[in-house]
Amino acid sequence: MPVRSAHEASDEGNTMTEQKTATLSFDGKTIELPILSPSVGPDVIDIRKLYAQGHVFTYDPGFTSTASCDSTITYIDGDEGVLLHRGYPIDQLASQSHYLEVCYLLMYGELPTAAQLEAFETTITRHTMIHEQMHNFFRGFRRDAHPMATMVGVVGAMSAFYHDSTDVNDQKQREIAAHRLIAKMPTIAAMAYKYSIGQPFVYPRNDLDYAANFLHMCFSVPAEKYNVDPILARAMDRIFTLHADHEQNASTSTVRLASSSGANPFACIAAGIACLWGPAHGGANQACLEMLKEIGTVDRIPEFIARAKDKNDPFRLMGFGHRVYKNMDPRATVMKESADEVLELLGVENNPLLQVAKELEHIALNDPYFIEKKLFPNVDFYSGIILEAMGFPTSMFTPIFALSRTVGWISQWKEQFADPQMKIGRPRQLYLGSTYRDYVDVENR
């Protein structure tokens, strides 16, 4: 299948020899719509000229059948349970690569040479500190603020503290903003955590790698020496890698939409963090662990399965189901292995939550409701168990997802700027409200 991007295809128009088209007939009109072929995956009907030619819109709430952009970063085959970053499968990246190398791959398109990787790691490491005055900004939050609330605010405020990298039309400034965001996000997440538990902020250490440094900033205290366990640092790194990007999900689309207006990168990433927070998206890892705790023991699982199946009960099995995956989420497979490793290392392999999770997974995967609806465990199902075993409170689960996903948001944002077709995102609607009516004075209503 030819590899063409949407803009190449549109430049060629209908004169292209292999151009496939779809025909749409309605109201006595017939419209030919070009079909674009991806490098892999389903074809896409190009409806950009539909309104101009047919004076109709398409209707697709939730974007279940709509491609919002073309991209070369991440590919998902939801039916087969495949996730590729720049072509490389996630299980290979999770086992053979590491987070900062995956960041480079996502941002620049190829695996780095040794020299490129070293230069990139040095750049990121040297940007991990935040502006000292931002400490005062943190102190303005209530002590019991959810770390995600703090992160939305602090990352948005980076546009005030790093104003010299907010000009999105300047390629150099865009690059600096990208590096700053990837480098400072762990510092910000760790500070949000430290603030919420009343401990002093811990400065980053340049001799530690990205994941180890995050554990150091979260768990060390000035009063005593803290040694990062390399196996836990590796597990942390793997969690970052598994969350790094996931093509046009809700938060990534939010970042792209916010950025389409020309908003600065810090504001756009803050918008992405806000979107990620919801329990249907990144907030599911916190909600999943809370659910496992609520279930508590294996004998209560049938009660919760029954609730999940009950149309009159809003309860859903958190960590189950996905808009795109109609098969096992490949990230969940790696996460499950990691959970076993980490819990064994910490000597808590009989963790009751893990027992509940494994049994719940087994029962759900054999239940006709879940089989018929193709509901499989997703990435959030096992991540919370690992994070809790490492010592993180549930409120930190989504901030960890946010810091991991920052590179995905940034890479997609960067790609959007390189796209000559970039224009402000502006969906249309199916209006069902009142038609024209005259204003009525309050005394006459």
Q: Which residues are catalytic?
A: 322, 380
Minimal distance in Å, beta carbon 90 to ligand CMC? Answer: 14
The site map against ligand CMC for 286-315 (x = CB under 6 A) is ----------------------x-------
Distance CA 281, CA 275 (A): 8
Considering the rule CB under 6 A, would residue 336 count as an interface residue with ligand CMC? no
Minimal distance in Å, beta carbon 322 to ligand CMC? Answer: 5
Residue type, 350: N
Nearest to 343 by CA among 284, 290, 388, 292: 388
Minimal distance in Å, beta carbon 288 to ligand CMC? Answer: 6
Nearest to 383 by CA among 394, 374, 375: 394
- For ligand CMC, which residue has the nearest CB? 321
Minimal distance in Å, beta carbon 168 to ligand CMC? Answer: 26
The site map against ligand CMC for 140-179 (x = CB under 6 A) is ----------------------------------------
Task: Region of 247 please: left (phi>0), alpha (psi -120 to 50) or beta.
Answer: left
| Token representation of residue 380 | 């959030």
Distance CA 443, CA 440 (A): 8
Considering the rule CB under 6 A, would residue 282 count as an interface residue with ligand CMC? yes
Instruction: Tell me which stretch binds ligand CMC (CB under 6 A): 31-39, 95-103, 227-235, 276-284.
Output: 276-284
User: Within 13 A of 78's CA, how many CA atoms are on the CB side?
Assistant: 16
Considering the rule CB under 6 A, would residue 373 count as an interface residue with ligand CMC? yes
Considering the rule CB under 6 A, would residue 245 count as an interface residue with ligand CMC? no
Q: How many residues bind ligand CMC (CB under 6 A)?
A: 19
Which residue bears the tokens 């719509």?
33
The set of residues, in sequence order, having a beta carbon less than 8 Å from that of 282 and lying 6+ positions away, is 251, 276, 380, 398, 401, 402, 405
Residue type, 169: N
| Token representation of residue 236 | 């942390």
Report the residue number, 186 or 408, with the smaller CB distance to ligand CMC: 408
- Give the residue, chosen from 7, 131, 323, 326, that forms a contact with ligand CMC under the rule CB under 6 A: 323
Q: What residues make contact with ligand CMC under the rule CB under 6 A?
A: 249, 280-282, 284, 308, 316-323, 373, 375, 378-380
